[in-house]
Amino acid sequence: MTSTVAPVTPIPLMELTTGFWKFKAMAAAVDIGLFAAVERRGEATFAELVTDLGLHARPVRMLLGSCTAMGLLVRSHGRYRNSGLAAEFLVPGKEHYFGGFVQYSDQHAYPAWGRLQEALRTNAPTTWDSSTQDSAFVAETEPAILENFWEAMFSLSAFTAEALADAHDFTRHRRLLDVGGGMGPFPIGLCRRHEHLTATVYDLPHIAEKCRAKVAEHGLGDRISAHGGSFLADAEFPAGHDVILLSMILHDWDERTSRDILAKCYAALPPGGAVIICELVLDDDETGPLPAAMMGLNMLVETRGGHNWTDAEYREWLTGAGFRGIETVPMHSAGANAAIIAYK
């Protein structure tokens, strides 16, 4: 009998080894303005793009071929146009522009991942100097990096907010506190969906200023406010909210800090109030899913003690803080695969 078992080949290893090629090609295309140039013309020839980009023909030909093969460009009758994916997310000025995350990853995270072995040996971040800074989010961090980071998080979180709105019934809540909410993508998305909902973003003062400006851009200044403070240093969280959101927050910190944050959430909520943990959650046996596992490794290069934790760990911490009625709701988004909801 002939065996039907597929032979083992190095093809998967080749794909893993060269995975960064695709990222760097996309990042370069964003950086040089390829998708913006195509968008301006609607459709463009190879010669037009060589002229518009001010580059030599050889590298432009290679980049166009790569971006077409990756599904970012479409070629038809010798002309290029942006694919639906690139047109929606990689053209500056679009509402859901994802280029900030691409640029942040290229300029900030990519070099740090190049020092992953150092992070493994030292158990210290490589994206910032933990000997001179308290965290990566202080105002003194390089402004351009921080600007890309907050724009990146806004883009990533905007779609995660939509997924959360589908996963959890917010009609039962009246006032949301978004802890470490950045420029407010979750409150903006949730308040758009639910007219009865109001919200407060609670973040560092310099971030709260950015949040107020972003909220004003979206015309929601009468329903969303920003409270400057530190959810680590402040003894109490802002009061008067019946639901508290922790989106991609607890994975930045060690277990003790995470437990402290949850204790402050419990103290700030009224009876019946809810806390929502929105994260890429690891399976309890820590065999996946891959996005959660890789984000956990990213926490090694990004944070002092962060980790992408398991569902069981989050449940244990919530129970220890006094919460009950814990449920885990699956989500499908780039920023989170689950919402863990618990009640006081």
Write out the catalytic residue numbers. Answer: 251
SS3 87: helix
What sign does the dihedral 71-76-81-87 (CA atoms) show?
negative
Task: Give the Cβ contact number of residue 43 at 10 Å.
Answer: 15
Tokens of 269: 């909520």
Asked whether the bond before 330 is cis by omega within 30 degrees of 0, the reply is no
User: Residue 53: left if φ>0, alpha if ψ -120 to 50, beta else—which one?
Assistant: alpha
DSSP of 279-326, one letter per residue?
A: E-PBPTTS---HHHHHHHHHHHHH-SS----BHHHHHHHHHHHT-EEE
Longest dimension (CA), the chain: 74
Length of the chain: 344
The strand pairing partners of 224, in sequence order, are 199
**Do residues 49 and 34 touch, judged by C-beta distance below 8 A?**
yes
